[in-house]
Structure 1
Amino acid sequence: MGIRDLIRDVDDAVFSTLGDTARIEGREVLGMFSAPWLQPKLGRITTALREPHLVIRVADNAGVQTRQRVEIDLSEEDGGGTYTIASIEPGGDGLVALVLRKSP
Protein backbone atom coordinates (compact mmCIF):
# COMPACT_ATOMS: atom_id res chain seq x y z
CA MET A 1 0.00 0.00 0.00
CA GLY A 2 1.48 3.33 -1.09
CA ILE A 3 1.34 6.69 0.65
CA ARG A 4 -1.49 7.94 -1.59
CA ASP A 5 -3.60 4.92 -0.61
CA LEU A 6 -2.97 5.62 3.08
CA ILE A 7 -3.83 9.31 2.70
CA ARG A 8 -7.01 8.42 0.79
CA ASP A 9 -8.07 6.19 3.72
CA VAL A 10 -7.34 8.99 6.20
CA ASP A 11 -9.26 11.51 4.08
CA ASP A 12 -12.22 9.11 3.85
CA ALA A 13 -12.34 8.82 7.65
CA VAL A 14 -11.91 12.56 8.28
CA PHE A 15 -14.38 13.75 5.64
CA SER A 16 -17.06 11.21 6.59
CA THR A 17 -16.77 12.15 10.28
CA LEU A 18 -16.14 15.90 10.16
CA GLY A 19 -17.19 16.95 6.66
CA ASP A 20 -19.88 19.46 5.79
CA THR A 21 -22.47 18.57 3.17
CA ALA A 22 -22.47 20.79 0.10
CA ARG A 23 -24.16 20.65 -3.28
CA ILE A 24 -22.26 21.83 -6.35
CA GLU A 25 -24.79 22.37 -9.14
CA GLY A 26 -27.03 19.87 -7.31
CA ARG A 27 -24.35 17.16 -6.89
CA GLU A 28 -23.75 16.32 -3.22
CA VAL A 29 -20.16 16.34 -1.93
CA LEU A 30 -18.50 16.31 1.47
CA GLY A 31 -16.04 19.09 2.19
CA MET A 32 -14.57 21.30 4.89
CA PHE A 33 -16.33 24.67 4.83
CA SER A 34 -14.76 27.74 6.39
CA ALA A 35 -15.83 31.37 6.43
CA PRO A 36 -13.01 33.15 8.30
CA TRP A 37 -13.22 36.80 9.20
CA LEU A 38 -10.04 38.74 8.58
CA GLN A 39 -9.44 42.30 9.72
CA PRO A 40 -6.19 43.58 8.29
CA LYS A 41 -5.23 47.12 9.20
CA LEU A 42 -4.45 49.43 6.32
CA GLY A 43 -3.01 52.54 7.91
CA ARG A 44 -5.75 53.59 10.31
CA ILE A 45 -8.53 51.89 8.40
CA THR A 46 -9.71 48.52 9.68
CA THR A 47 -11.38 46.39 7.06
CA ALA A 48 -13.53 43.29 7.42
CA LEU A 49 -12.88 40.84 4.59
CA ARG A 50 -14.62 37.51 4.33
CA GLU A 51 -13.34 34.88 1.94
CA PRO A 52 -15.32 31.69 2.51
CA HIS A 53 -13.99 28.49 1.01
CA LEU A 54 -14.86 24.82 0.69
CA VAL A 55 -12.06 22.25 0.62
CA ILE A 56 -12.98 19.09 -1.28
CA ARG A 57 -11.11 16.01 -2.47
CA VAL A 58 -9.66 15.95 -5.98
CA ALA A 59 -11.98 13.06 -6.89
CA ASP A 60 -15.00 15.30 -6.11
CA ASN A 61 -13.57 18.16 -8.19
CA ALA A 62 -14.30 16.52 -11.58
CA GLY A 63 -16.44 18.90 -13.63
CA VAL A 64 -16.27 21.76 -11.11
CA GLN A 65 -15.83 25.17 -12.73
CA THR A 66 -15.79 28.79 -11.64
CA ARG A 67 -19.17 30.52 -11.53
CA GLN A 68 -20.97 27.32 -10.55
CA ARG A 69 -23.50 27.42 -7.72
CA VAL A 70 -22.62 25.87 -4.35
CA GLU A 71 -25.10 25.34 -1.53
CA ILE A 72 -23.62 24.82 1.94
CA ASP A 73 -25.89 22.80 4.21
CA LEU A 74 -25.25 24.67 7.47
CA SER A 75 -27.18 27.21 9.50
CA GLU A 76 -26.96 30.83 8.36
CA GLU A 77 -25.04 31.68 11.54
CA ASP A 78 -22.38 29.14 10.56
CA GLY A 79 -22.13 30.54 7.04
CA GLY A 80 -24.55 28.20 5.30
CA GLY A 81 -26.33 29.34 2.18
CA THR A 82 -25.77 29.75 -1.52
CA TYR A 83 -22.42 30.74 -3.00
CA THR A 84 -20.72 31.05 -6.37
CA ILE A 85 -17.28 29.57 -7.03
CA ALA A 86 -14.87 32.48 -7.56
CA SER A 87 -11.70 30.42 -8.06
CA ILE A 88 -10.38 26.88 -7.79
CA GLU A 89 -7.06 26.34 -6.00
CA PRO A 90 -5.54 22.83 -6.10
CA GLY A 91 -3.32 22.19 -3.10
CA GLY A 92 -1.13 19.45 -4.55
CA ASP A 93 -2.06 17.27 -1.59
CA GLY A 94 -5.16 15.58 -2.98
CA LEU A 95 -7.39 18.47 -1.90
CA VAL A 96 -8.83 21.44 -3.77
CA ALA A 97 -9.96 24.73 -2.20
CA LEU A 98 -12.98 26.35 -3.82
CA VAL A 99 -12.94 30.07 -3.04
CA LEU A 100 -16.53 31.22 -2.75
CA ARG A 101 -18.54 34.45 -3.02
CA LYS A 102 -21.92 34.82 -1.37
CA SER A 103 -24.76 34.77 -3.89
CA PRO A 104 -27.54 37.34 -3.56
Structure 2
Amino acid sequence: MDDFRELSGAMDGVLLDVLGDKALVDGRSVRGMFAASWLQPQFGRLKTAIVEPQLSIRDADAVGVAKGAAVVVDGLAYEVVGIEPDGTGWTPLILRPV
Protein backbone atom coordinates (compact mmCIF):
# COMPACT_ATOMS: atom_id res chain seq x y z
CA MET A 1 0.00 0.00 0.00
CA ASP A 2 2.00 2.98 -1.25
CA ASP A 3 -0.89 5.28 -1.93
CA PHE A 4 -1.93 7.59 0.91
CA ARG A 5 -5.63 7.25 -0.04
CA GLU A 6 -5.42 3.44 0.18
CA LEU A 7 -3.60 3.60 3.52
CA SER A 8 -6.12 6.10 4.89
CA GLY A 9 -9.02 3.93 3.71
CA ALA A 10 -7.54 0.88 5.42
CA MET A 11 -7.10 2.83 8.66
CA ASP A 12 -10.72 4.06 8.43
CA GLY A 13 -11.89 0.47 8.14
CA VAL A 14 -9.96 -0.65 11.22
CA LEU A 15 -11.15 2.33 13.27
CA LEU A 16 -14.77 1.80 12.25
CA ASP A 17 -14.60 -1.88 13.15
CA VAL A 18 -13.46 -0.95 16.66
CA LEU A 19 -15.09 2.41 17.35
CA GLY A 20 -17.83 2.84 14.74
CA ASP A 21 -21.53 2.99 15.48
CA LYS A 22 -23.54 0.09 14.06
CA ALA A 23 -26.39 1.17 11.80
CA LEU A 24 -28.82 -0.20 9.25
CA VAL A 25 -29.27 1.81 6.07
CA ASP A 26 -32.23 0.45 4.09
CA GLY A 27 -31.68 -2.88 5.86
CA ARG A 28 -27.95 -3.01 5.03
CA SER A 29 -25.51 -3.14 7.96
CA VAL A 30 -22.91 -0.35 7.96
CA ARG A 31 -20.62 1.28 10.49
CA GLY A 32 -20.22 5.00 10.80
CA MET A 33 -20.11 7.90 13.21
CA PHE A 34 -23.51 8.91 14.62
CA ALA A 35 -23.97 12.38 16.07
CA ALA A 36 -27.09 14.06 17.44
CA SER A 37 -27.63 17.29 19.35
CA TRP A 38 -29.25 15.45 22.27
CA LEU A 39 -26.02 13.47 22.74
CA GLN A 40 -24.22 16.82 23.22
CA PRO A 41 -21.25 16.02 20.97
CA GLN A 42 -18.16 17.94 21.96
CA PHE A 43 -14.81 18.77 20.49
CA GLY A 44 -12.58 19.14 23.51
CA ARG A 45 -14.53 21.45 25.82
CA LEU A 46 -16.50 23.09 23.01
CA LYS A 47 -19.92 21.82 22.03
CA THR A 48 -20.45 21.27 18.32
CA ALA A 49 -23.13 23.04 16.32
CA ILE A 50 -24.90 19.86 15.20
CA VAL A 51 -28.63 20.51 14.83
CA GLU A 52 -29.90 17.47 12.91
CA PRO A 53 -28.87 13.94 13.74
CA GLN A 54 -26.40 12.61 11.21
CA LEU A 55 -24.62 9.41 10.36
CA SER A 56 -21.28 9.81 8.61
CA ILE A 57 -20.36 6.77 6.53
CA ARG A 58 -17.63 6.01 4.02
CA ASP A 59 -18.36 6.99 0.43
CA ALA A 60 -18.33 3.32 -0.62
CA ASP A 61 -21.09 2.58 1.91
CA ALA A 62 -23.12 5.56 0.69
CA VAL A 63 -23.40 4.33 -2.90
CA GLY A 64 -27.08 3.91 -3.73
CA VAL A 65 -28.37 5.67 -0.61
CA ALA A 66 -31.09 8.18 -1.51
CA LYS A 67 -33.22 10.72 0.30
CA GLY A 68 -36.02 8.89 2.07
CA ALA A 69 -33.84 5.87 2.92
CA ALA A 70 -34.57 4.25 6.28
CA VAL A 71 -31.79 4.33 8.89
CA VAL A 72 -31.77 2.63 12.29
CA VAL A 73 -29.15 3.50 14.93
CA ASP A 74 -29.33 2.14 18.48
CA GLY A 75 -32.88 0.92 17.83
CA LEU A 76 -34.14 4.38 16.82
CA ALA A 77 -35.57 4.97 13.34
CA TYR A 78 -34.62 7.86 11.06
CA GLU A 79 -35.18 8.96 7.48
CA VAL A 80 -32.42 10.39 5.28
CA VAL A 81 -33.30 13.99 4.39
CA GLY A 82 -29.90 15.04 3.05
CA ILE A 83 -26.74 13.50 1.63
CA GLU A 84 -23.60 15.64 1.85
CA PRO A 85 -20.38 14.02 0.57
CA ASP A 86 -17.51 16.07 1.99
CA GLY A 87 -14.76 15.20 -0.50
CA THR A 88 -12.61 13.36 2.06
CA GLY A 89 -14.05 9.87 1.51
CA TRP A 90 -16.92 10.38 3.96
CA THR A 91 -20.60 11.10 3.34
CA PRO A 92 -22.69 12.50 6.18
CA LEU A 93 -26.33 11.42 5.96
CA ILE A 94 -28.57 14.09 7.46
CA LEU A 95 -31.38 12.37 9.34
CA ARG A 96 -34.87 13.07 10.67
CA PRO A 97 -36.40 10.97 13.43
CA VAL A 98 -39.50 9.05 12.32
- Larger Cα Rg: Structure 1 or Structure 2? 1
Aligned counterpart for 2:83 among listed residues 78, 85, 88 = 88
Aligned residues: 86
Deviations 1:63-95 (A, max 9, x none): 1000111011x2xxxxx5000001000010000
TM-score, normalised to structure 1, is 0.78
Please identify runs of 4+ aligned residues in structure 1 that moved more than 3 A: none
Give the aligned partner of residue 35 of structure 1.
36
Runs of 5+ consecutive residues of structure 2 not aligned to the other structure: 39-49
SS at match of 2:34: strand
Runs of 5+ consecutive residues of structure 1 not aligned to the other structure: 38-48, 75-79
TM-score, normalised to structure 2, is 0.82
CA distance in structure 2 between the aligned counterparts of 1:56 and 1:10, rounded to whole angstroms: 14
SS at match of 1:90: coil
